[in-house]
């Protein structure tokens, strides 16, 4: 394989110079970013755009509201899932408090993904057999109806990927207007986490005769609860 | 790879005779084009975004040495194994090595045009490795043994019935050809593959130089599967696919999603800064980044064609191209088709005999340049490639003679006048009802499908000269 | 104003009436018109075929012909686009001719552009009652930016009913030598354009580039569905007759 120095110096010579040692200047560009004139509308707009993509969503203020919304969405299904598979509802190690208490109230037991099995392959297979994956989120983007999650030791990337349903909780304070704000905050973290997943709606494809079809690989149903306390 | 053996004319004839293909191409490109307009109109400032995108891409390409060096340092620092491949053969060798070292039998792939460019599946299959394309469209064409017909919708040319027919032997039972059934079949089938995959191979939409991050966009989620589940990941990238930092990534992701499919963001945008940290539960432990040159450095050194490296593979030029609209992707014969394919294929492959037709797959209408989100002057590059081909001596003798004659007559206007007068007399054998309806080649190429007006008995220059003469004599 | 006509190779040989009418209209508007000798072609046909050395010499000849002109006007957006878009490239290594080509660029216009943008004369008092549709040529619109001017002229033609042309932005498949080098693709393109023209319900197809019109009309005639075709110049010329 080509040695890196040779590879780079050959590129430099193609550019008519020797390998640069100082960084190039910052690129001068300006784009008018999407900004909400009324930040109070951010949750509503985020939700609207999320729903346009085929997701379900709601804004809640209290635990009661959370409980009744979960009941409305899933009914008694979770209880029957659990009967067949105790790990049918898979979650990150910790979720926002309001979410945790809501699930206790409902008596829907959450299996914690990272502790589900010691071997990664086993974990993946558990996640693939789960009915619902539950995560928090680090940011949301109003303009595109996107939720953004950072990977970490307590989270697991498969939770929002392998189960046929994904439910995310996001605090309203984590919503931003546009992608650039999120990326700016990612930059400020210094070293980014090993994976940042930006999710805008369910898995979709139009590969067969341009006919839109949902859920070819990733979640088929996606839900978001915006916590605005 | 059968497609590549037929001649250009045969491929064009086959495409033009394929009504489904032509309808499908129109449907797909019309849909994608209109979605794009919706997504760019709502921004209200598309031109500013385009200009920013063009500045960013040009800046990166002009400083590719620096940014690539930075990317290598940043990724290696975190434990990524970087492989620099000068040629497709080198890149294939790297991947085969890794696969063999791990004794991997199941390779799962998300979409990578580099993989197509180096014919990776072909080689892996020869090694007895099951290498599965997981993007639905790519999976369809993999089973069919065909190259992509559109850079974003690779199996656009297949009917749902053809897809069902391709899937049936794998399913072992009959499948109805409705989309939900076909999609569900793929979901179940691919799940097994995803969970079994020893090695994941992905493409790379952007690599962020200052953090060593790899950015992938997909709509199906297969990119996430392939980059989450296997223990080993190999990412293939063309060496120009870089942005300096997250600041520029914002612009590029907006341009890509809106130009490609008219989405504000693709369903899944994944930013990997690999490999996984030791405490994390998911993601590859071992990460290989294969960076391919394949004559991209030659393009970099050629100022005329350097802008071709600015491409972000969005496919917007496909969706406005009137030539692509009529013939679809396979008639081009190349992995990259459409306007950008006609530009980069001759530059990457450096073989005029094989790819000399591509710069001529264009009426030079300029729709591609108008659509490009990073302002690549595609039609200019096509016409300049034609000049390169001529200079390299790969054009027919007779054509060279014709243009020598053209040059003579059109630099001697008085002689031209006489020639036109002569022409107007000699044309009669070919004239029916006042129109030219036949003639020797290359004129016959026109008259097969069109008539031509008669050469006027007096050219305008002659008419004007005569008028002037009359005026003078009457004065 | 003293206006020099650039007749273009195509109209010179096949459609001298277009050039002559252009001269008449400009004279009618009170301008003096000349047609410098020696002019023959912008060089595009060779340039687009990859023969840039041949194109350069033809371009040089054209530059010479118009060296003493104040204003140059042509009935083709494509030919003017060739000058504006590619002459600087053709002469990038010849400073003298680079300067000359820049001078030519500054003073050269496509006819509708000249009438509407320079002379500010969108209304010539023409009258032509007919249902027409208009094909916007690619080079005029995309390379030269002549977009609105033809429509403004047509708006002022009394009795003219302009019908929309579907997928108007699509190239007609002419592309100069493209039409003979890739004849089957070109035919497929012109067939689609012709279908849109027929479907428009118009009795007249208008354009500002005779290349495209020759292509579309030639195809329509070959399939025995001839549609009357005119350059906007011809329409104005006819409509201005008392």
Segment A41-65 mean pLDDT: 97
pLDDT at B5: 60
Say if residue B418's pLDDT is above 70.
Answer: yes
C58 interaction partners in chain B (CB closer than 8 Å): 406-407, 410-411
Which one, of B109, B307, B83, lies nearest residue B198 by Cα?
Answer: B109
Tell me which residue has tokens 């493409």: B203
For residue range B148-157, list pLDDT tens digits in order.
Answer: 999 999 999 9
Among B269, B235, B291, smallest CA distance to B67 is for B291
- Alpha-carbon distance B406 to C86, whole Å? 19
Average confidence (pLDDT) over A184-211 = 95
Q: CA triplet A157, A162, A168: central angle to 5 degrees?
A: 65
Residues of chain A neighbouring B213 (CB-CB closer than 8 A): 192
Q: Where does C2-117 sit in CATH, by number? A: 3.40.50
CATH 3.40.50.2300 given to domain B65-297: no
Residue B239 token pair: 């060496």
Q: Of B268, B267, B265, which Cα lies nearest the Cα of B251? A: B265
Indicate the average pLDDT of chain B.
Answer: 96
C41:B410 CB<8 A = yes
Question: H or E stretch including C190?
Answer: helix C183-199
Q: Can you give the pLDDT at residue B3?
A: 47
pLDDT for C242 equals 83
The ranges assigned to domains in chain A are: 41-201+221-227
User: B: neighbours with 3+ CB pairs under 8 Å?
Assistant: A, C
Distance of CA B64 to the CA centre of its chain: 22
Say which residues have a Cβ less than 8 Å from residue B130's Cβ, sequence separation at least 6: B105, B106, B107
| Average per-residue pLDDT for chain C | 97
Interface test with C, best of B410, B419, B448 (most C CBs within 10 A): B410
- Domain locations along chain B: 65-297, 409-474
Strand segments (E) across B101-212:
106-109, 130-133, 199-202, 206-208
What's the mean pLDDT in B262-279? 95
Q: Is the pLDDT of residue B294 over 90?
A: yes
pLDDT above 70: residue A128 = yes
For residues C76-92, average pLDDT: 98
> What is the number of other CB atoms lying within 10 angstroms of the CB of residue B224?
30
Mean pLDDT calculated for residue range B387-406: 96
pLDDT of residue B112: 97
CA-nearest residue of chain B to A20?
Answer: B66
Say whether domain C122-240 belongs to CATH 3.40.50.11810.
yes
pLDDT value, residue B44 = 84
**Average pLDDT estimate for C192-219:** 98
Ramachandran angles phi, psi of B96, nearest 5° = -60, -40
Per-residue model confidence (pLDDT) at position B470: 87
> How much is the pLDDT for C40?
97
ipTM over 0.95: yes
pLDDT tens figures, B55-77: 999 999 999 999 999 999 999 99
Q: For the segment B327-384, what is each residue's pLDDT rounded down to a tens digit?
A: 999 999 999 999 999 999 999 999 999 999 999 999 999 999 999 999 999 999 999 9
For A41-201+221-227, the fitting CATH number among 3.40.50.460, 3.30.43.10, 3.30.70.1450, 3.40.50.10420 is 3.40.50.10420
- Tokens of residue B364, six digits: 């030079």
pLDDT of residue B471: 83
| pLDDT score of B1 more than 60 | no
For B106-231, strand residue ranges (E) read: 106-109, 130-133, 199-202, 206-208, 213-218
pLDDT in tens, C123-174: 999 999 999 999 999 999 999 999 999 999 999 999 999 999 999 999 999 9
Nearest CA in chain A to B154: A207
Closest CB from B68, B136, B225 relative to A8: B68
B 403-442 residues with CB < 8 A to C: 403-404, 406-407, 409-411, 413-414, 416, 420, 423, 435, 442
Residue A2's pLDDT band, with cuts at 50, 70 and 90, is confident
CB pairs under 8 A between B and C: 190
**Sheet strands side by side (includes B268-272):** A175-176, A139-141, A146-150, A195-199, B268-272, B213-218, B206-208, B242-243
C118/chain B closest Cα distance in angstroms: 25
The pLDDT tens digits for A147-181 are: 999 999 999 999 999 999 999 999 999 999 999 99
Each residue of B79-124: pLDDT tens digit? 999 999 999 999 999 999 999 999 999 999 999 999 999 999 999 9
Domains C2-117 and C122-240 share a fold: yes
Per-residue confidence (pLDDT) for residue B412, from 0 to 100: 98
Name the B residues in 292-321 with CB < 8 Å from any C CB: 320
Share of chain B above pLDDT 90, in %: 95
């Amino acid at each position: 394989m080509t040695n890196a120095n040779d590879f780079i110096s050959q590129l430099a010579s193609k550019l008519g110079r020797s390998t640069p040692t100082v960084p190039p200047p910052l690129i001068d560009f300006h784009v008018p970013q999407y900004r909400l004139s009324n930040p109070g509308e951010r949750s509503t707009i985020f939700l609207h755009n999320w729903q346009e993509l085929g997701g379900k969503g709601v804004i809640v203020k209290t635990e009661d509201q959370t409980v009744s919304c979960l009941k409305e969405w899933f009914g008694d299904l979770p209880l029957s899932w659990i009967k067949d598979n105790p790990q049918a509802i898979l979650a990150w190690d910790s979720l926002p408090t309001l979410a945790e208490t809501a699930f206790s109230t409902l008596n829907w037991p959450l299996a914690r993904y990272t502790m589900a099995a010691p071997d990664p392959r086993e974990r993946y297979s558990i996640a693939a057999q789960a009915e619902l994956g539950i995560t928090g989120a680090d940011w949301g983007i109003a303009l595109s109806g996107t939720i953004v999650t950072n990977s970490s030791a307590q989270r697991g990337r498969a939770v929002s990927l392998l189960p046929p349903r994904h439910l995310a909780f996001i605090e309203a304070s984590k919503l931003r207007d546009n992608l650039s704000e999120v990326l700016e905050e990612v930059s400020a973290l210094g070293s980014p986490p090993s994976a940042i997943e930006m999710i805008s709606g369910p898995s979709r494809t139009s590969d067969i005769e341009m006919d839109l079809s949902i859920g070819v690989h990733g979640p088929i149903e996606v839900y978001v609860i915006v916590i605005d306390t | 790879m059968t497609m590549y053996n037929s001649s250009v004319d045969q491929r064009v004839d086959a495409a033009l005779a394929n009504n489904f293909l032509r309808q499908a191409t129109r449907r797909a490109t019309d849909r994608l084009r209109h979605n794009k307009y919706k997504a760019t109109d709502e921004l209200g400032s598309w031109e500013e975004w385009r200009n920013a995108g063009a500045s960013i891409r040009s800046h990166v390409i002009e400083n590719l040495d620096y940014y690539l060096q930075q990317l290598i340092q940043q990724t290696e620092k975190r434990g990524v194994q970087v492989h620099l491949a000068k040629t497709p053969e080198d890149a294939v060798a790297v991947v085969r090595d890794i696969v063999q070292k791990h004794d991997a039998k199941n390779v799962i792939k998300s979409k990578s045009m580099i993989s197509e460019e180096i014919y990776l599946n072909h080689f892996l299959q020869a090694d007895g490795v099951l290498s599965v394309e997981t993007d639905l469209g790519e999976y369809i064409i993999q089973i069919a043994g065909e190259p992509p017909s559109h850079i974003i919708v690779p199996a656009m040319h297949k009917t749902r019935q053809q897809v069902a027919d391709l899937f049936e032997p794998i399913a072992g039972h009959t499948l109805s050809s409705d989309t939900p059934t076909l999609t569900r079949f793929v979901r179940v089938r691919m799940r097994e593959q995803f969970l079994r995959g020893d090695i994941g191979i992905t493409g790379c939409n952007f690599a962020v130089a200052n953090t060593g991050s790899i950015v992938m966009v997909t709509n199906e989620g297969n990119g996430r599967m392939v980059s989450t589940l296997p223990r080993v990941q190999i990412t293939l990238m063309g060496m120009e696919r870089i942005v300096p930092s997250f600041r520029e990534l914002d612009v590029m992701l907006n341009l890509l999603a809106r130009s490609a499919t008219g989405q504000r963001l693709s369903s899944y945008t994944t930013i990997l800064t690999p490999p996984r940290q030791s405490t994390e539960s998911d993601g590859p432990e071992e990460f290989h980044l294969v960076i391919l040159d394949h004559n991209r450095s030659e393009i970099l050194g050629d100022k005329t064609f350097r802008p071709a490296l600015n491409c972000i593979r969005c496919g917007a030029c496909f969706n406005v191209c009137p030539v692509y609209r009529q013939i679809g992707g396979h008639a081009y014969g190349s992995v990259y088709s459409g306007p950008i394919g006609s530009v980069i294929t001759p530059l990457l492959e450096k073989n005029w005999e094989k790819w000399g037709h591509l710069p001529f797959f264009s009426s030079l209408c300029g729709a591609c340049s108008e659509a490009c989100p990073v302002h690549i002057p595609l039609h200019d590059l096509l016409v300049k490639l034609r000049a390169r081909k001529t200079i390299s001596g790969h054009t027919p003798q007779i054509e060279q003679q014709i243009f020598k004659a053209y040059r003579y007559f059109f630099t001697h206007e008085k002689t031209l006048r006489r020639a036109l007068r002569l022409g107007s007399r000699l044309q009669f054998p070919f004239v029916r009802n006042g129109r030219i309806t036949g003639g020797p080649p290359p004129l016959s190429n026109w008259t097969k499908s069109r008539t031509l007006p008669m050469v006027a008995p007096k050219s305008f220059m002659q008419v004007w000269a005569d008028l002037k003469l009359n005026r003078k004599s009457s004065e | 104003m003293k206006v020099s006509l650039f007749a273009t190779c195509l109209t010179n040989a096949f459609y001298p009436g277009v050039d002559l009418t252009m001269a008449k209209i400009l004279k009618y508007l009170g301008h003096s018109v000349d047609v410098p000798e020696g002019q023959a072609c912008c060089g595009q046909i060779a340039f687009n075929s990859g023969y840039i050395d041949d194109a350069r010499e033809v371009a040089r000849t054209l530059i010479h012909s118009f060296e003493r002109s104040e204003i140059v006007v042509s009935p083709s957006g494509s030919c003017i686009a060739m000058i504006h878009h590619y002459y600087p490239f053709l002469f990038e290594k010849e400073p003298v001719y680079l300067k000359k080509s820049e001078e030519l660029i500054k003073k050269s216009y496509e006819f509708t552009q000249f009438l509407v943008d320079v002379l500010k004369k969108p209304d010539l008092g023409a009258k032509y009652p007919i249902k027409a549709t208009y094909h916007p040529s690619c080079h005029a619109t995309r390379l030269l930016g002549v977009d609105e001017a033809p429509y403004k002229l047509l708006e002022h033609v009394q009795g003219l009913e302009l019908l929309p042309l579907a997928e108007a932005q699509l190239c007609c498949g002419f592309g100069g030598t493209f039409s003979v080098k890739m004849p089957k693709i070109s035919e497929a393109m012109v067939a689609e354009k012709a279908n849109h023209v027929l479907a428009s319900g118009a009795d007249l197809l208008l354009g500002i580039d005779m290349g495209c019109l020759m292509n579309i009309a030639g195809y329509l005639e070959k399939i025995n569905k001839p549609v009357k075709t005119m350059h906007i110049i011809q329409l104005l010329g006819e409509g201005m007759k008392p």
